[in-house]
Structure 1
Amino acid sequence: MNSIPFPDLPRLPLPVRVLFTGYLLAIGVGLLIAGAQIMLTHGMADGKPGLSIDDIVYSYHGNRTNTRLESALNGSMKGYAPDEERQILIDWARRGAPASDWEPTIQPIVQQYCVACHSTMPGIADYNHLANLQERAEIDTGPTVASLTRVSHIHLFGISMLFFGVGLIFAFARGFDPIFKSLLIVAPFAFLIMDVAAWWLTKWQPGFGWLVMFGGFGYSVASTVMIFTSLYQMWLLRVPEAERQWDTAPAAEVSSHR
């Protein structure tokens, strides 16, 4: 019994290729924006532009020579307040965050520069309340277990679905050894699990910080290869006319293969 030839990317119907292309372009732009967001948050954890091992360690293990508030003000939050006001907050945290300074000195700064985000955005502390800011004035030990758990499950569920779509489309690519194609499809999932596991390992032991960078780099490269390969094969790869029969075979001929 003959079977219908498997439809590879160059021979997919136009509407399907348009659908796949829209998805891949949106995912590609999303990955670029995610990279920029990492540079603006984790990449500033040590107070210097660019992503380094220190940034990773400070983000997950913490900078245990400083308070969490000081680390944030000298890192990812550095651009949100003038140097003088930031230094006032840092000095207050170093002195143990006394409540006596809240109303006359600290609260006006917080109201002007902090609460626009730290009172309206879900998942971050409300700095209208002194207790929340005093909690940030403790030694920086990185994210809490509860916070790390929340972020981990969001990443695993959400990003896995993105990689599923990219891998599903790439599964229609032609010219690849099935074993190599399968390894490339599974690679982003493996690197994602490695990345998230490395967050927890780095919180426990800072020496695992390099594993976070390796995992993130790995799934970025694997997904980029699949995205560009799929786009190229759908729109630029020339297929001999004799191989395009799947596109043009009459319905009766297709039925005869069943």
Structure 2
Amino acid sequence: MTPKYTPLKDHDTPIKVLFTGYLCTVGIGYFFALMQILFTHGMADGQFGLSVDDIVYSYYGNRSGTVLETKLNGSMKDNASAQERFDIIKWVRDGADIDDYKDDGIDKIIEARCVMCHNESASGIPNFKEFEPLKALTSQDEGATFASLTRVSHIHLFGISFIFMFVGLIFSFAETTTNQYKCIAIGMPYAFLIADILSWWLTKVHPMFAWLVIFAGMGMGVSFMFMWVTSILEMWLFKPVFLNGIGSKYLEWRDSPDASAVDRLLLALKALAAQAKPLAAFVTEQWLTRAWPIIKGWLKK
């Protein structure tokens, strides 16, 4: 069947250059985004590398200490010496009194180590030239605030959706992937993006959802890389990869009349769903006719 679109390999060279330029730019941007995560969230527990504890500390918080302690032992650990961090933490645990702030020399440490970034000209971070913003960080560490989650959530949903829209648009011209799997690949990033944002809020409520943050992030990355690599290979290396190379085996498997394992799984799921409909109808009927009236009676009492 002749496709109703121009495959990537058959596009004019200027269009290929346009697509490739965009893919390379967002690919580099994605790489730096991962690096930024490693140097921010990945340092929440004081050790380089993203872990479940990092996610928990970032969103749920380290409830055994204060915000300032968590930062000094985590992402800000390298910005002060061990003795300076010890002095600040001791001051915090002694009550974070404003008189001790000056008498113990904490103000000098803050001025030398922190004010270079935490000042009135910096946006989004507290101004440590004033005492009150610093004092606010000596309370229990409860992770990200709901206000910050709201701000970051809408930024990510709007911004990353546009990235996936254009990457998916380019990938939609691929011809080595069937329409069924193409739809799955294009839709997966959006599903994982929503799951990722939702997992932030769930982790804020309970730390057990930290695993969902990692899983959703990995899902986004895998789907992005699949579309990215497939698009680049089809535009510039179609013949050596898909005709004469390892990709030819994939095309033989794709065009095989035998149903693949994935196809068989999808058919099994469809059959299971068809059988589940009567059961769902029965459960719904029992709920409405028996369980719900009993619950309503309890509520009236």
Aligned twin of 1:216: 217
> For the pair shown, which has the larger CA radius of gyration, 1 or 2?
2
Q: In the aligned structure 1, how far is the partner of 2:159 from the partner of 2:114?
A: 29
Question: 1:148-192 CA deviation, whole Å, 9 max, x = no partner?
Answer: 111111111111111111111101111211111011011111101
CA distance in 2, matches of 1:231, 1:121: 40
For 2:126, what is the secondary structure of its paired residue? coil
1:230 and 2:231 equivalent? yes
User: Offset of 1:4 from its aligned partner?
Assistant: 9.5
Cα distance, 1:103 vs structure 2? 3.3
Matching of residue 146 in structure 1 with residue 147 in structure 2: yes
> What amino acid maps onto 2:203 in structure 1?
T
Name 2:97's counterpart in structure 1.
98
**Structure 1 runs (4+) greater than 3 angstroms displaced:** none
Name the CA shift for 1:196/1:5 in 2 (closer, same or farther; >3 Å).
Answer: closer
Alignment deviations for residues 122-144 of structure 1 (CA, whole Å, 9 cap, x no partner): 11111111110111111100011
- The correspondence of residues 188-227 of structure 1 with structure 2, limited to 5 A, is 188-227=189-228
Distance 2:234 2:44 in 1: 40
User: Counterparts of 1:44-55 in structure 2 under 5 Å?
Assistant: 44-55=43-54
Using the TM superposition, give the Cα deviation of residue 224 of structure 1 relative to its aligned residue in structure 2, in angstroms. 0.8
Does the residue aligned with 2:54 lie in a helix, a strand or coil?
helix
Q: Percent of pairs identical after alignment?
A: 48
Structure 2 residue aligned with 1:172? 173
What are the Cα deviations for residues 81-135 of structure 1, in whole angstroms up to 9, with x where unaligned? Answer: 1211111111111122111123341222111111222123311111111110111
Letter in 2 for 1:131: E
Tell me which amino acid in the other structure corresponds to 1:236. Answer: L
Secondary structure in 2 aligned to 1:229?
helix
**Cα 1:153–1:5 shift into 2, 3 Å:** closer
Residue 174 of structure 1 aligns with an amino acid whose one-letter code is E
Q: Which amino acid aligns with 1:225?
A: F
CA distance in 2, matches of 1:69, 1:187: 38
Partner of 2:70: 71
More deviation, 172-181/115-124: 115-124
Match runs of 1:111-190 below 5 Å: 111-119=111-119, 120-190=121-191
Q: TM-score, normalised by structure 1?
A: 0.88
Residue segments in structure 2 that go unaligned for 5+ positions in a row:
244-301
Partner amino acid for 1:189? Y
CA distance in 1, matches of 2:4, 2:159: 33
Match of 1:84 in 2: 83
Letter in 2 for 1:25: C
* Equivalent residues, number: 238
**Which piece of structure 1 moves more, 117-126 or 19-28?**
117-126
Does the aligned pair in 1 maintain the 2:91–2:101 contact within 8 Å?
A: no
Q: Shift in Å at residue 5 of structure 1?
A: 5.0
Tell me: CA distance 1:89–1:19, structure 2 relative to 1, closer, same or farther (3 Å). same
